[in-house]
Structure 1
Amino acid sequence: MKTHWMLLAVLFLLSCSDDNGLDKKEPGTDEPEIDVVEPELYRANRMLIKHGLQLQCWVATDNYELGGKAGQPAYNLSIPDWKLTGFTGPTFYGPPLINTSYFEEFPDSQWAMAKAPHADQLKKEPTDYEKKNGFLSEDQLKYLDNLTTICFGDEEAYKFENVKILKAWYDVARRLYPDALLHNNQYAGQWSRADMCTYIQVAKPDLITYDWYYFHTWDSDNYIGARDMAAHLYEYRDLALGGWNGDKKDYLAFGQYTQGFVNEGTYKLTESQLRLYYYMTWTFGGKWLNWFRFLQGDGYGGQTAPTDWSLLLENGMPGQPTRYMDWVNQCNRESLYIGDYLVRLKTTDIRYVAGTDKYTEGAPAYVSALNPSSYLKKVSGRIVVEPEAGGDVYVGFFDVIPEEEQGDPNFFANKGNAFFMLTNGYASKVKENADALTQKINFGIDLPEANATQCFWINPQTGKREKLKAIGKEDNITYFEVELWGGSGALFMLAP
Structure 2
Amino acid sequence: MGFILKASKMKNLKLTAQTICSALLFFCIGLTSPSSFALEQVIIEQDDESTANGHIDYSGSWHRDENTWSDTTGAYVNIRFNGTSIVVNGIKGPDQGIMDVYLDGVFLRSEDNNAPRDRNAFIFSEPKISGGEHILKLVVTGKKAPEGTGTKITIRNVAYTKDDTLVVDAFKMTQIPNSELSIQATSSANDSGIANAFDGDSATHWVANSTENQTIDIDLGHQYLVGKIGMIPDINQLTQGRLRKISLYTSDDGVNYVRSLDDVAFGSNEWTGRQAAINAGFAPSTDQIFYYLHLPEPRRARYLRLAIHSTWNGVARVADFKLYRYIEPAKPYSPKTFKLPIFQQNVYGDISHGQKVLIEKGLQVQAWIPIEGSGRRELSREDFDRLNITGVANYSQRSLYPENFLSRNPDLLWSAAKFPFGNSKLTALPPTTGDSPLIPQALIDNLSKGVSICLGDEQEYGDLIQRRNTLAWFEYARSHFPDQIIHTNQVEGQFRSIADWEHYMTNAEPDMLTYDYYVYSSSGRDEDVPYLALKNMNGPRKYASLGVDLTGNKPIPFGLYLGAYKTGGNSYAEGWYEFTESQKKFIPFIAMAAGAKWFSLFRVEYDKYGSFLFGEDGWPTHHFFEYANIFKQMRNLGPHLVRLQNIDLAVVSGQTLELTDGVKNIVDNDLPGRFNNGYFQFGDWSRDRNPSYHIESVTVVNPETVNNGLAQDVFIGYFDLLPNLSEQQLSFFSSQAPKYFMVVNGQTSGNGRTFKAQFGSSKETKQNIRLVFSQSGTLKKVNKNTGASETVPLIAIDGGYELNLSIGGGDGELFFWQE
User: Same fold per TM (> 0.5)?
Assistant: yes
Matched, 1:385 2:694: no
Kept after mapping to 1: 8 A contact 2:351/2:723: no
Given that 2:399 and 2:438 are in contact with CA atoms closer than 8 Å, whether structure 1 keeps it comes out as no
Given the superposition, is the C-alpha separation of residues 163 and 143 from structure 1 closer, same or farther in structure 2, using an over 3 Å criterion? same
Q: Which has the higher strand share?
A: 2
Tell me if the contact between 1:224 and 1:273 (Cα under 8 Å) persists in the aligned partners: no
Provide the C-alpha distance between the structure 2 equivalents of 1:424 and 1:53, rounded to a whole number of angstroms: 22
Deviation at 1:376?
2.0
Alignment partners' CA distance in 2, 1:406 and 1:167: 35
* Alignment match, 2:522: 217
Displacement of 1:269 in angstroms is 1.2
Of 631, 641, 644, the residue aligned with 1:332 is 631
Residue identity opposite 1:314 in structure 2: G
What's the CA shift for 1:329?
Answer: 0.3
- Label 1:332 to 1:404 Cα distance change in 2 as closer, same or farther (>3 A): closer
Question: How much has 1:100 moved relative to structure 2?
Answer: 2.5
1:199 matched to 2:536: no
1:376 aligns with 2:695: yes
1:488 to 792, 798, 811: 811
Which structure shows the higher helix fraction? 1
Q: Which residue of structure 1 lines up, in the alignment, with residue 475 of structure 2?
A: 171
The structure showing larger relative contact order (alpha-carbon pairs under 8 Å, at least 6 residues apart) is: 1
Distance in 2, matches of 1:407 and 1:426, equals 39
CA distance, structure 2, for counterparts of residue 489 and residue 363 of structure 1: 19
Name the CA distance, whole Å, in 1 between partners of 2:493 and 2:555: 21
1:66 matched to which residue of 2?
Answer: none
- Asked if 1:262 is matched to 2:561, the reply is no
- Secondary structure at 2:631's aligned position in 1? helix
Q: Name the % identity.
A: 24
Conserved 8 A contact 2:719-2:740:
yes
Alignment equivalent of 1:102, drawn from 405, 429, 433: 405
Task: Please give the per-residue CA displacement for 1:318-372, whole angstroms capped at 9, x wherever unaligned.
Answer: 3x11011011100000101110000011111111111245496431423311131
Aligned pair 1:285/2:598, yes or no? no
**Pick aligned residue for 1:309 from 610, 626, 649:** 610
Query: Take 2:671 and 2:595, find their aligned partners in 1: how far apart are those partners?
Result: 19
1:152 offset after TM fit, Å?
Answer: 0.6
> Cα deviation per residue 1:370-427 (whole Å; 9 max; x = unaligned)?
1312222222221233697321111111111244579821111211211000100001
Matched, 1:230 2:534: yes
Q: 1:95 to 1:61 in 2, by over 3 A?
A: farther
Query: Structure 1: which amino acid aligns with 2:459?
Result: E
**C-alpha distance in 2, partners of 1:423/1:35?**
52
Aligned to 2:493: 189
The residue aligned with 1:345 is 644
The residue type equivalent to 2:761 in the other structure is N
The separation in 1 between residues aligned to 2:714 and 2:728, in whole angstroms, is: 29
Listed as ranges, the matches of 1:452-467 within 5 Å are 453-467=777-791
Partner of 1:156: 459
Report the CA distance between 1:35 and its aligned residue.
Answer: 6.3
Structure 1 partner of 2:742: 421
Q: Which residue of 2 aligns with 1:249?
A: 553
Deviation at 1:187, TM superposition (A): 1.3
Distance 2:650 2:590 in 1: 12
Deviation, 1:467, is 1.5
Q: What SS does the aligned partner of 2:610 have?
A: coil
1:389-408 correspondence runs (5 A): 389-404=710-725, 408=729
SS in structure 1 of the partner of residue 387 of structure 2:
coil
Q: Retained in 1: the 8 A contact 2:749–2:759?
A: yes
- Report the counterpart of residue 274 of structure 1 in structure 2: 584
Larger Rg: 2
Cα distance change, pair 79–198 in 1 and its aligned pair in 2 (3 A)? same
Q: Which residue in 2 is equivalent to 1:91?
A: 393
Bigger mean CA deviation after superposition, 108-117 or 227-236 = 227-236
Structure 2: distance between partners of 1:35 and 1:200 = 27
Cα-to-partner distance string for 1:135-161 (whole Å, 9 max, x where unaligned): 532111222101001101001123233
Contact 1:424 1:486 in 2 (8 A): yes
Long gaps (5+) in structure 2: 1-11, 13-256, 263-295, 299-349, 569-574, 658-666, 751-757
* Distance of 1:177 and 1:162 partners within structure 2: 21
Instruction: Return the TM-score normalized by structure 2.
Output: 0.51
Query: Aligned partner of 1:84: which letter?
Result: R
Matched residue of 2:731: which SS? helix
Contact map agreement 2:351 2:725 (CA 8 A) in 1: no
Higher mean C-alpha displacement, 398-407 vs 362-371 = 398-407
For 1:248 and 1:160, the matched residues in 2 are separated by 27
Which residue is equivalent to 2:353?
43
Instruction: Name the SS for the 2:433 alignment partner.
Output: helix
Look up the SS of the partner of 2:531 in the other structure. Answer: helix
Contact 1:45 1:405 in 2 (8 A): no
Q: Normalising by structure 1, report the TM-score.
A: 0.83
- Matched length: 441
Tell me the residue number matched to 2:654.
355
Superposed CA RMSD: 2.6
What CA distance in whole angstroms lies between the structure 2 residues aligned with 1:218 and 1:81?
31
Conserved 8 A contact 1:61-1:92: yes
Q: Within 2, Cα distance between the matches of 1:331 and 1:233? A: 20
Change (3 A) 1:164 1:398: same
Query: Residues 764 and 809 of structure 2 are in contact (CA less than 8 Å); yes or no, is this contact kept in structure 1?
Result: yes
